[in-house]
Amino acid sequence: RGATRAGRDPNELQIQLWLTASIDSDPLVAARRARGNVVFYASIPSYRSYFEAHGFGAMFDALVEARKSLPLENCLDMVPLEAAKTFAVCGTWDEVGEEIVTIAQHANSVCVKPPMWAIDPLEVKQQGEEIEKLLLG
C-alpha cells in the first residue's frame, strides 16, 4: 500500500527480512534464549510503535524505563515468553524451519541470525551453526 501511495510499483520493491531464530528441542528454552534480543530492541525508543502494534506497548515502556538504570541481563524476566515468540522465530528445528519458510514467502530474501544478547558467546555460535544447517543443509 505504501508503494502505491508513493506512486511506485510494489513489484519493483526488494524486501529483505531480518529474523532472529532460536532453536531448541524444548520450545520454552528457545523462547527464553530470545528474550535478550527483545530487551535490546525494546530499549530503543523509535521501536515503540512496532511493539505497540503487537500488543506489547506497556512492556516496551517498562523496558525503556528499566534500561535507564539496569543492564540488559537484569531485564530478561520483564519479557514474557509470548513476547519472545512474537518477535523471534522460536521452537524446535522443524517449527523454526516451517516458520521461516512461511515468512520468507513475503520477501525477496531473508537474513536469519541467532539471538545475540544476554547469552553465552558459545551458545550464539552453536545457534548460528544450527541455523546454517537448517537453511543450507
pLDDT tens per residue, range 28-74 = 999 999 999 999 999 898 999 999 999 999 999 999 999 999 999 99
Please answer whether residues 69 and 119 qualify as being in contact, where contact means their C-beta atoms are separated by less than 8 angstroms. Answer: no
Q: Tell me if 5 is assigned to some domain.
A: no
Whether 114 has a pLDDT exceeding 90, the answer reads yes
pLDDT per position as a tens digit, 47-58:
999 999 999 999
| Domain range enclosing 89 | 14-136
The number of folded domains in the chain is: 1
**Rounded CA gap, 41 and 64, in Å?**
10
What does the alpha-carbon distance between residue 59 and residue 82 come to, in Å, rounded to a whole number? 12
Half-sphere exposure of 118 (CA within 13 A, CB side): 19
Q: Is residue 99 situated within a structural domain?
A: yes
Q: Is residue 131 included in any domain, yes or no?
A: yes
- Let me know if residue 57 belongs to a domain: yes
Per-residue confidence band for 1, with pLDDT thresholds at 50, 70 and 90 = confident
Look at residues 74, 68, 69 and name the one whose alpha carbon lies nearest to residue 36. 74
* Alpha helices by DSSP H, the chain: 2-5, 27-42, 48-53, 57-66, 81-87, 93-104, 121-136
